[in-house]
Amino acid sequence: MTFRTSIESRQAKVGVVGLGYVGLPLILAYARAGHPALGFDIDPAKPEALLAGRSYIKHIPTDQVAEASDSGMLDATTDFSRAGECDALVLCVPTPLDEHFEPDLGYVISTIEALVPHLRKGQVISLESTTYPGTTDEELVTRVEAAGFTVGKDIHVVYSPEREDPGNPDFAATNIPKVVGGATPACLDAGVALYGAVFDEVVPVSSCKVAELTKLLENIYRAVNIGLVNELKVAADRMGIDIWEVIRAASTKPFGFKPFYPGPGLGGHCIPIDPFYLTWKAREYGVHTRFIELAGEVNRAMPDYVIHRTMEALNSRGKAVKGSRVLVMGLAYKADVDDMRESPTFALMDGLTRLGAEVSYHDPHVPEVGPTREHMEWAGTRSAEWREAVVRAADCVLIATHHQAFDLDELAQWADLIVDTRNAMAATGTRDGQVVKA
Which residues are annotated as catalytic? 270
CB 398 within 8 A of CB 348: yes
With CA atoms as reference, report the closest residue to 417 among 277, 349, 316, 343.
Answer: 316
> What is the C-alpha to C-alpha distance for residues 133 and 326, in angstroms, rounded to an integer?
43
Q: Is 148 left (phi over 0), alpha (psi -120 to 50) or beta?
A: left
> What is the C-alpha to C-alpha distance for residues 51 and 41, in angstroms, rounded to an integer?
13
CB 391 within 8 A of CB 321: no
Q: Can you give the C-alpha Rg of the chain in angstroms?
A: 24
> What is the C-alpha to C-alpha distance for residues 223 and 221, in angstroms, rounded to an integer?
6
Residue 336 makes CB contacts below 8 A (sequence gap 6+) with 59, 167, 365, 403, 404, 405
Give burial (CB, 10 Å; 0-12/13-18/19+) of 286: exposed
Residue 352 makes CB contacts below 8 A (sequence gap 6+) with 307, 310, 321, 326, 328, 359
* Ranges assigned E (strand) in 244-309: none
CB 96 within 8 A of CB 130: no
CB 360 within 8 A of CB 382: no
- Helical pair 243-250 and 208-239, crossing angle rounded to 10 deg: 120
> What is the C-alpha to C-alpha distance for residues 167 and 13, in angstroms, rounded to an integer?
28
The distance from CA 8 to its chain's CA centroid, rounded to whole angstroms, is 31
- 14-17 and 37-40 strand pairing: parallel
Q: Which amino acid is at 336?
A: D
Residue 79 makes CB contacts below 8 A (sequence gap 6+) with 40
Q: Which amino acid is at 332?
A: A
> What is the C-alpha to C-alpha distance for residues 250 and 229, in angstroms, rounded to an integer?
12
> What is the C-alpha to C-alpha distance for residues 394 and 416, in angstroms, rounded to an integer?
8
